Amino acid sequence: MSFFTCDICDANEDKLATGELRVLPPLFMKFGRQGKFLGQAVTLKVFEENSLVRTKLESPGNGQVLVIDGGGSIRCALVGGNLASLAQQNGWVGIIVNGCVRDVEEINACNIGVRALASFPVRSAKRSTGEQDVRISIAGVAIQPGDWIYADADGVLVASENLLK
């Protein structure tokens, strides 16, 4: 995987200006063994409950990135070691959580990339609520299903199209 988010930004200043290329604010911590990942976004919108997260990660990931808008809540974790392992087994390349994770040592043993606001030991509720495959907004940055996600040590980009053709 040969890309650098800095180079993508430099080569696409016009798309940054139009919003076709967006940058998530530097709020996210890195977890998992893959510090760099890219793939198309699959979106979820949940709040302090992760039943839909499990359901989605049980399905084939096909090299996609699960982007979870957890409302920025830091009162419970939406992804833990079991779900990260499930994601790895089912071919997801990454998970971005606008919320918390837990079981950090287990997540860090998985061969996927994970970004989250923080770690927090309390698990989420199980209410089977939420929305999938919808437009979400994380820290003011819009993400549509099918957008391209590029993540590395410098940050996380969201693009309306594949910029590495």
β partners of residue 38? 150
Q: What are phi and psi of 85, to 5 degrees?
A: -65, -40
- Identify whether the C-beta of residue 146 lies closer than 8 Å to the C-beta of residue 43: no
102 is in an annotated binding site: yes
82 is in an annotated binding site: yes
Residue corresponding to tokens 């209410």: 127
- State the chain's maximal CA–CA distance in angstroms: 44
The enclosing H or E element of 125 equals: none
pTM of this structure: 0.97
6: amino acid identity, one letter:
C
83 is in an annotated binding site: yes
Q: What are phi and psi of 17, to 5 degrees?
A: -70, -35
Class of domain 24-156: alpha beta
146 is in an annotated binding site: no
Tens digit of pLDDT per residue, the chain (165 long)?
699 999 999 999 999 999 999 999 999 999 999 999 999 999 999 999 999 999 999 999 999 999 999 999 999 999 999 999 999 999 999 999 999 999 999 999 999 999 999 999 999 988 889 999 999 999 999 999 999 999 999 999 999 999 997
pLDDT given for residue 115 in this prediction: 98
pLDDT given for residue 126 in this prediction: 86
21 is in an annotated binding site: no
25-67 tens-digit pLDDT? 999 999 999 999 999 999 999 999 999 999 999 999 999 999 9
Report the Cα 163 to chain-centroid distance in Å: 18
Structural domain boundaries in the chain: 24-156
